[in-house]
Structure 1
Amino acid sequence: MKEGPDITLIGSLIGDPTRANMLSALISGKALTASELANEAGITLQTTSAHLKKLEAGGLIRQRKQGRHRYFNLADEDVATLLETMMGLAAKKGHIRTRTGPKAPEMRKARVCYNHLAGEFGVQMFDSLVGRGFLLEDRNEVVITDSGRDFIKALGIDLDPLQKAKRPLCKSCLDWSARRSHLAGSLGTALLDHIYEKGWAKRLEDVRVVQFSRRGEAAFHEHFPLLADQKHASL
């Protein structure tokens, strides 16, 4: 076998349909119990425990104990980014699992991707920041500019603790539904928290949907407008 990173283990862990369903449930960023994950995957609790052990041993999830309960999360944002990227590739290649219901359009409009904003609104926010020169995107690297720092500070977001965090400040994440980039990293999380704190939107219970109010949607478009050429490109 050739030397270097072994992607076969990661592929086998994610490639199992049951484990894929469990990982997809955890991409919401919420900690879930084994019972909740068993329900998501449609399997018994005993079978779920075996899958969770494999995912944890492979470094894709982590668990923490609180009282009598054990909760599971994705191991880190890198795992969430990988899953979202794989969803985007699957969608691009036509490998779609259709779930009917009213949540589908809302999921595409605005949703949580682990700990940052995704969907059409997430892509618009990223494009707006890049288009106005607040962020510079060079391949997979995203850098905040001086004017971008001024903009973020004007929103009332303190960049100092974000820059001291172990996570990257800015990171692009391929949006599975829009098939374009949205903003991840500690800044992406801070901007989503800002949206919540301002009351522009709220996270719907038990789903990934981020629901904007009419006032919040207007405020979002005011703060993250698209340039004329970007509007044309998004059509």
Structure 2
Amino acid sequence: MSGESPRSRRNRKEREERRAEGGRRAPAESFARERGTPKKEGGRTTGVRVAERSHHLCGNTEEGKRTLKHHRAMGKTARATVGDPSHLDRMAVLRATATRQAARCARRDARWPARNGFFLSVQHALDRYRVISENFDRARFSIGANPLVVGCVPWPAVVHPSRLVGDDGRGVQGSTSWEDVEHFLQGVKQILRPAEYQDLLRKVRLQFHPDKWASRGILESVLDDELRVQLHTWCVIVSQAVNAAC
């Protein structure tokens, strides 16, 4: 190229050198250019494929091994959670399910009004116990589909169930005391025949035996840790109060 100016020759040589240098690019540099946000590609994550190329190109190095192991673990996690919500999303779903369960119980309990805003009459407490007992005994509680909330339990007590829960319907506000259970038992003893009263005692004793709750996995369906502990405490209180009355 005789008509080429000195400046043009320099530019041409620089371009040729850059092309030649590109063909001799180091493996690590090639890997750096290929890296990016991992994407799903043919059933495998791009991150895993890039890490495998890095492991191969860089040799059997410790860094290559660590990179490959990390991306493979990420790939397994991604595959395991495909179609599932994230942990935070799942917790939100579970809380919403428990809140809906509590709202259903509150609507049902509205048929038994509280006296002075706190207590049920003995007859209403007995009616509530009978209505809820049947469903409670046959229910299969689960944290995702049928979580246990305070209103699900046929408490043999005169305290109104709305006084036991927090504002969201799931947490704990009040408590069931030994005296509440005693008041219930003393009251129903006056309106039931002796045989009916003894049958009631046997039924409550079986329903609220802590081992019975454990064998049914009832408390495992409670999402809130504080509520789970409180429900177990109330179960023990009821069990002890009924045993004392037998």
TM-score range, shorter chain: under 0.3
Rg bigger for which structure? 2
* Larger helix fraction of residues: 2
| Structure with greater contact order relative to length (CA < 8 Å, sep ≥ 6) | 1
Query: TM-score with structure 2 length normalisation?
Result: 0.22
Query: TM-score with structure 1 length normalisation?
Result: 0.23
